[in-house]
């Protein structure tokens, strides 16, 4: 009997991915305090609150019996969609699962596992399928160079270092890196640097038209970018937990 599965008859396939996700880091467990602050944020940046998926980080809280259901209700009332919880005790984990949410371990623990999985010099590098005209090159310490155009729907990642794209990033494409993101061309898609929380990371591009920019979870959408910077060579870095965009001269 053949065990081969006809791909045309498959209803789905599982694929690994690194999707951009906003982390809502809670420093208060009081749903009413969260409600008040969200209301203020909504008035300042209504475009952000458009069914944005968020991960609720409870790592700073010492609340074994967190009012998670009420907090989620407050988020949904402000057009945020909680999809998972990060950190917390076992009761918090169980509450998340009971509410149909995912659960992630604390960031430090997750980062430690990532570092443990980084291949040593003796390991054989993985070979990925890429288009014939596109070339990717592994750099020391997990860096990566991609030569070619990152097309709509395509995602290029450097999960352990910097990512350099020698070419354009089209609308609908994503480039992500644990470190810096360098784009030697037009950046029209999404660029996320410091995806593991590195606040020293940055984004550097030759021509800015980005749909979304993120450094260590701090976001700016296209509508939040100064129109005078569009089409310019810029750098995007964090300063006092605020995302700053300045022209490169």
Give residue-wise pLDDT tens across range 96-127: 888 899 998 887 654 444 434 444 334 433 33
pLDDT at 123: 40
Domain locations along the chain: 22-114, 135-247
Q: Which is nearest to 189 in space by CA: 209, 206, 161, 204?
A: 209
Strand order, beta sheet including 218-221: 155-158, 174-177, 190-193, 212-215, 218-221
Confidence of residue 47 (pLDDT cuts 50, 70, 90): low
Measuring CA to CA, which residue among 202, 227, 198, 197 is closest to residue 213?
202
Q: What CATH number should be reported for the domain whose range is 22-114?
A: 3.30.70.260
Q: What is the pTM assigned to this prediction?
A: 0.51
Compute the mean pLDDT over every residue in the chain, rounded to the nearest whole number. Answer: 80
**Mind listing the pLDDT tens digit for each residue in 158-195?**
988 999 999 999 988 889 999 999 999 999 999 999 98
Q: Choose which CATH entry (2.30.40.10, 3.30.1050.10, 3.10.520.10, 2.160.20.70) describes domain 135-247.
A: 2.160.20.70
């Amino acid at each position: 009997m053949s065990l081969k599965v006809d791909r045309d008859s498959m209803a789905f396939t599982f694929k690994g991915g690194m999707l951009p996700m906003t982390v809502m880091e809670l420093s208060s467990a009081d749903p009413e305090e969260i409600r008040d602050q969200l209301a203020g944020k909504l008035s300042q940046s209504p475009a952000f609150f458009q069914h944005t998926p968020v991960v609720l980080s409870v790592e700073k809280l010492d609340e074994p019996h967190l009012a998670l259901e009420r907090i989620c209700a407050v988020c949904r009332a402000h057009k945020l969609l909680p999809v998972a919880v990060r950190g917390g005790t076992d009761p918090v984990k169980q509450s998340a699962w009971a509410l149909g949410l995912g659960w992630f371990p604390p960031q430090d623990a997750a980062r430690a596992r990532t570092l443990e999985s980084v291949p040593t010099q003796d390991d054989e590098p993985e070979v990925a399928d890429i288009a014939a005209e596109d070339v990717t090159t592994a750099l020391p310490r997990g860096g990566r160079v991609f030569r070619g155009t990152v097309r709509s729907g395509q995602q290029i990642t450097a999960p352990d270092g910097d990512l350099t794209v020698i070419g354009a990033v089209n609308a609908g494409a994503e480039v992500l890196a644990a470190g810096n993101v360098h784009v030697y061309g037009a950046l029209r898609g999404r660029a996320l640097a410091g995806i593991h929380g590195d606040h020293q990371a940055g984004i550097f591009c030759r021509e800015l038209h980005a749909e979304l920019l993120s450094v260590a979870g701090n976001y700016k959408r296209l509508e939040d970018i100064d129109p005078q910077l569009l089409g310019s060579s810029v750098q995007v870095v964090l300063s006092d937990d605020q995302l700053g965009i300045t022209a490169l001269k």
